[in-house]
Amino acid sequence: MEDKKENKIYPEIRPGALVKVHQKIKELDTKGQPKERVQIFEGMVIARRGGGQTGATITVRKMAADNVGVEKIFPLHSPNIVNIELIKNFKVNRAKLYYLRGYKKKLKEVVA
């Protein structure tokens, strides 16, 4: 028998959205005991794959220190993803925003 997994419901996450992804991180403390914490990764969604399937993923890019870009791919229905907060939506005309890897200008915010 398959375990019925409940599908998480997130706000409409599209490329061009600025999001905060809350991810569970499991690590060992100084005594070797396992501990769990929630780490927040904030950045721009540059791609979404998989539609509404259970294997759907989003690629989030942020600029770290010294203008170094960091990209992470998050499975939307992973048990390690606690929450995804939608901060802003930007107007984009593409489904994949890979051009943002070398882009210096800011995107226009969608007026709602």
What is the C-alpha separation between 38 and 26, in angstroms, rounded?
9
What is the C-alpha separation between 82 and 20, in angstroms, rounded?
11
Classify residue 21 by its DSSP letter.
Answer: E
Q: Does domain 17-94 match CATH 3.90.70.10?
A: no
Where are the chain's structural domains? Answer: 17-94
Nearest to 58 by CA among 70, 41, 76, 81: 76
pLDDT digits (tens, 9 = 90+) for 61-76: 998 888 888 999 999 9
Is the pTM for the entire model greater than 0.85? Answer: no
Average pLDDT of 64-90?
92
Long-range contacts of 51-60 (CB under 8 A, 24+ apart): 54/5, 54/7, 58/13, 58/19, 60/19, 60/21
